[in-house]
Amino acid sequence: MTRANFHRVDLDRVFLPFVAVSLEVITRCAARGVRYVATHGFRDLPEQAELRRLYVAGKGGKASPAGLSAHNYGLAFDFVCDASPRPGVQPDWRESAYRVLGDESTKAGLVWGGRFGDSPHVQWPGYVSALQLTPLRTLVQQSSLADVWARLDAERLSPKWRAANPKLAAELERLGF
Ligand SMILES: [Zn+2]
């Protein structure tokens, strides 16, 4: 049951088309014998600011400034590879444990963080860099997360986006989006 792989995150705060494709990706990974459990999905701006503060102080892992992470818009998941069938999650942090995740997420047209040294991270395309994320930060500050998602829905239905993201467009179409 793939939904169980997502029980630690609040799926209501993650962009629905991204949730649907991610469920597919994790099911395909499971079929290849590798189980991934989502540990982070949405993260609000104060949480992101705190992570950034810890990182800058040398007390935490690498973290983007508030508003400049795809997590702030429900457009990313972090996964942990569960190394054992025993109850609970036995994390495997070896780089090699995320190869199947990278392979299946890339095949589905998502962006795998392994491209930039963040192997557990998978996200929606087009909103990776600070330059790409800044317009979403402006929008969420002026209105709401719902408006960000409405903008992303309009974008993903455009011929231009579909031509630029053929694999993801095909997955979404198959899933009825
Ligand atoms: Zn992440």
pLDDT per position in the chain (177 positions), as tens?
Answer: 577 899 999 999 999 999 999 999 999 999 999 999 999 999 999 999 999 999 999 999 889 999 999 999 999 999 999 988 888 889 999 999 999 999 999 999 999 999 999 999 999 999 999 999 999 999 999 999 999 999 999 999 999 999 999 999 999 999 999
C-alpha angle with apex 6: 161 to 45, nearest 5 degrees?
A: 65
- Report the separation in Å between the CA atom of 63 and the middle of ligand 1, taken as the mean of its atom positions: 9
Half-sphere exposure of 132 (CA within 13 A, CB side): 11
- Report the separation in Å between the CA atom of 142 and the middle of ligand 1, taken as the mean of its atom positions: 24
- Report the separation in Å between the CA atom of 147 and the middle of ligand 1, taken as the mean of its atom positions: 22
For residue 51, CA distances in Å to 9, 32, 176, 177 come to: 18, 34, 36, 34
* Per-chain residues with Cβ under 5 A from ion ligand 1: 76, 78, 121
- Report the separation in Å between the CA atom of 136 and the middle of ligand 1, taken as the mean of its atom positions: 17
- Yes or no: domain 2-174 corresponds to CATH 3.30.1380.10: yes
